[in-house]
Amino acid sequence: MKSILYKYRKFFAVFLLFSAITLYLFYGALKPSKSLPIYNPADVNPELVDTAVQYVRKYHTIANFSFVNQNGKTITQKDYEGKIYVADFFFTTCGSICPKMTTNLAEIQKAIINNPKVMLLSHTVFPETDSVPVLKAYAIKNGVNDKKWNLVTGDKKEIYTMARKSYLAVKLGKPSELYDMVHTENFVLVDSKKRVRGFYDGTNKEEVQKLIADIAFLSEE
């Protein structure tokens, strides 16, 4: 018996190696791999999308922008170049969903504080009242880290355009008022190629934890 095993030792070694590789590949094929969708306007609730882009089915990316943050600094696409980031829309006097959203964004800030690939970007939908000093006071109150999180204001038309044509995340307000917006609870995950990769309920703790996990996944993608 020993002589037979010795005689065919190379064959058994190759057979065992081949079996191990086959089992590994088979397991890999069956094991579901994590992936995140790439969202285009046609994939999203039409109520949240400007009619000009509602039927776009591919190659959608966040457009260039220019706003002013809580420190009076102009923030553009260059500040987010190659970054993963979470975008949302709010206003400082909101007493309904905004406090929860801001608290949860602060939790996300803690989770990403040491990740240089990730930032946050919050747009006010009431730029007429949310001036730079107002945003600064709000930032201090809520523990905003200026290096990670920009609260921005600017021209209402431009904010509206970004909300509905780029981030696909804000509903129309009163038809009687041009560029009126009703912000939603959506947190929008944007990847380093400026593509929308997810929408999350910013008032829901479980959704926020899922968002944090998806940020980590994109960071390693």
Q: Among 3.90.640.10, 2.40.128.20, 3.40.50.720, 3.40.30.10, what is the CATH number of 41-220? A: 3.40.30.10
Angle made by CA atoms 102, 189, 148, in degrees to the nearest 5: 55
Sequence-distant (6+) residues with CB within 8 A of 115 are 215, 219
pLDDT at 180: 73
pLDDT at 7: 52
- The secondary structure of residue 117, as a DSSP letter, is T
Tokens of 113: 């504080």
pLDDT by 10-residue block (mean), the chain, 221 residues: 51 50 47 81 94 94 98 98 97 94 98 98 96 98 98 96 94 69 91 98 97 97 78
Q: Which residue has the tokens 């709010």?
A: 90
pLDDT at 24: 47
pLDDT at 11: 52
The angle, 0 to 180 degrees and rounded to 10, between the axes of the packed helices 98-112 and 205-220 is: 30
Binding residues for Cu cation: 94, 98, 183
Please tell me whether the overall predicted TM-score, pTM, comes out greater than 0.85 for this model: no
Q: For the chain, which residues make up each domain, given as ranges?
A: 1-33, 41-220
Binding residues: 94, 98, 183
Measured distance CA(120)–CA(142) in Å, rounded: 14
* Amino acid, single-letter form, for residue 190: V
pLDDT at 27: 43
Cα–Cα distance list, 9 to 2, 4, 22, 86 (Å): 10, 8, 20, 58
pLDDT at 5: 47
